[in-house]
Amino acid sequence: MAKKSNPGQNGTTKLWGGRFTEATDPTVERFSASIHFDQALARYDIRGSIAHARMLGRSGLIPDGDADALVAGLEKIAVEIETGEFPFDPALEDIHMNIEARLTEAVGPVAGRLHTGRSRNDQVATDLALYLQDACIAAQRGILELRAVLVERAAEHIDTVLPGYTHLQRAQPVRLAHHWLAFFEHLGRDAGRFADAAERLRECPLGAGALAGSTLNLDRNDTASALGFDGPTRNSLDTVSARDVALEVMADAAICMVGLSRMAEELVIWSSSEFGFIELADAYSTGSSLMPQKKNPDVPELVRGKSGRAVGNLVSLLTTVKGLPLSYNRDMQEDKEPLFDSVATLRDCLQVMAGSVATLRVNVDRMAAAASDPMLLATDLAEALVLGGVPFREAHEAVGRIVAHCVESGEDLAGLSQKTLQQFHPAFNAGADTLLDAEQSFARRDLPGATARVRVEAAVEAARTEIDGIRERLEGESGP
Ligand code: ARG
């Protein structure tokens, strides 16, 4: 039977080959195309193809001259992609076929040798692994910049005191430095999760073929080391089926974003007139189109809002892969949009959060006034009794009665004399004024991880050292 051609929109021909006699229905073409999003993989795809072509030449599977021609053509296409001149064609479905078709235009029929021993299944798995490696480094760098800002703002505010909250009720006073270093810690674990995921991206998928390897003597170690992997993956079926590391990176992004969302929520609350703890810089705020007096915290609100996308993206891909049999299934093409979105959203949110925190103004007096209520030190009174040998429950009960007395009589807790205190418990051996001195209270909280000045100062120094170390390590990584 005469073979009908299967033309793409640019007059190029699809690569399905002799099995097909009819052109793809235009609706199906549109429905199945991924080029509008997987073009983000272009540079990884070309790197993979160059490594593959060189290996084919070195292994004697194609003539050396052909390998050279393929590499030269691919390098030319890489430039076209960088400069935005590459003519992406939706009729050619995805990035892999777009590049191969363009290579045919560039180097002629020899382009037909590139796909020797390769499938788009191991090809896309390789592209994704390389993309995810870069994404893990980019996330660590973004997190590092935000952490660096937090440390420097913390260093400025070691002596700025605000109430620490539980249940959004004033609980005990803390230093603003301590508060910001709390986010520093969370972000450190977030970065650790990305570094950890990168450990599972050390094996090269190329050579797994469609699902079962190849009859050709491909040198998988050669392509793996050319692409910077430690070696080839160990099971061809797993290689083309698995999307767990993509899921892991999306989960890491979702966790980090949820943390950023909490941080953002606080900036929103703190910048309200009710709190008045901070003022966001003009550069990181917006006005109202109607109310001239308004200065809105849209940036942290959007960070809070966008965390929903990161969570949704993760759930979307988890749901996509959950019912899939081994090995490759076309459903898996749905991995890319949510993945790319999570990576880009996280990058942007980290950047604007770093800018917001770096530029916000702290209202030290408002914070201090909110923290000055002596009631916030009621626990200190109970602990003073404990030091005098009183069981904590008994001390708690006595101080509870003291607080109730102050609430009822309107007396200032800090003003109670030793005599008054002793009416509630005989073990009080000083007046509340001494026991409730804020500075002394801080100084007494001298435990690892607590709010004493020396501890917080040391934490700032340790954080700076940590930042320097990570910066040095990440500078050594190639990455995006
Ligand atoms: N665009 C496809 C994807 O992203 C590439 C792999 C296609 N493989 C196939 N057998 N149809 O998943």
Task: Determine the residue of 29, 32, 94 to mutate for testing ligand 1's pocket, defined as the one with the most ligand atoms within 8 A of the Cβ atom.
Answer: 94
Report CA 393 to chain centroid distance, whole Å. 44
**8 Å CB contact between 9 and 91:** yes
173 phi/psi in degrees, rounded to 5: -70, 145
Query: Angle at which helices 298-321 and 336-359 pack, to 10 degrees?
Result: 160
Residue 128: CB within 6 Å of ligand 1? no
Task: Name the residue ranges covered by the structural domains of the chain.
Answer: 26-116, 121-367, 373-444
What is the C-alpha to C-alpha distance for residues 135 and 127, in angstroms, rounded to an integer? 12
What is the C-alpha to C-alpha distance for residues 184 and 243, in angstroms, rounded to an integer? 30
Q: Which of 272, 288, 372, 417 is catalytic?
A: 288
CA 95 to ligand 1: nearest atom: 1
Q: Which one of 1.25.40.10, 1.10.275.10, 1.10.10.10, 3.10.129.10 gives the CATH number of domain 26-116?
A: 1.10.275.10
What is the C-alpha to C-alpha distance for residues 115 and 53, in angstroms, rounded to an integer? 9
Residue 330: CB within 6 Å of ligand 1? yes
Count CB neighbours of 303 within 10 A: 25
**Residue-by-residue pLDDT tens, the chain, 480 positions:** 333 344 444 444 556 778 888 888 999 999 999 999 999 999 999 999 999 999 999 999 999 999 999 999 999 999 999 999 999 998 999 999 999 999 999 999 999 999 999 999 999 999 999 999 999 999 999 999 999 999 999 999 999 999 999 999 999 999 999 999 999 999 999 999 999 999 999 999 999 999 999 999 999 999 999 999 999 999 999 999 999 999 999 999 999 999 999 999 999 999 999 999 999 999 999 887 888 788 899 999 999 999 999 999 999 999 999 999 999 999 999 999 999 999 999 999 999 999 999 999 999 999 999 999 989 999 999 999 999 999 999 999 999 999 999 999 999 999 999 999 999 999 999 888 888 888 888 888 999 999 999 999 999 999 999 999 999 999 988 766
Q: Which of 135, 132, 123, 110 is nearest to 47 (CA)?
A: 123
The contacts of residue 436 (CB under 8 Å, 6+ apart) are: 374, 377, 380, 381, 413, 414
Q: Which of 203, 16, 209, 44 is nearest to 116 (CA)?
A: 209
Span from the CA of 120 to the centroid of ligand 1 (angstroms) = 6
Residue 121: CB within 6 Å of ligand 1? yes
Provide the β-strand partners of residue 369: none
Span from the CA of 161 to the centroid of ligand 1 (angstroms) = 56
Span from the CA of 32 to the centroid of ligand 1 (angstroms) = 10
Span from the CA of 24 to the centroid of ligand 1 (angstroms) = 16
- CATH number for the domain formed by residue range(s) 121-367: 1.20.200.10
pTM score, whole prediction: 0.94
Instruction: List helix spans (H) across 83-210.
Output: 95-107, 120-156, 176-199
What is the C-alpha to C-alpha distance for residues 162 and 367, in angstroms, rounded to an integer? 5
Residue 219: CB within 6 Å of ligand 1? no
Count CB neighbours of 138 within 10 A: 19
Residue 120: CB within 6 Å of ligand 1? yes
Q: In this predicted structure, what is the pLDDT of residue 431?
A: 86
167 given a catalytic annotation: yes
Residue 240, H or E segment: helix 236-241
115 given a catalytic annotation: no
**Cis omega (within 30 of 0) on the bond before 409?**
no
What is the C-alpha to C-alpha distance for residues 176 and 202, in angstroms, rounded to an integer? 41
- CATH number for the domain formed by residue range(s) 373-444: 1.10.40.30
Radius of gyration of the chain (CA): 31
Span from the CA of 379 to the centroid of ligand 1 (angstroms) = 62
Q: In this predicted structure, what is the pLDDT of residue 291?
A: 82
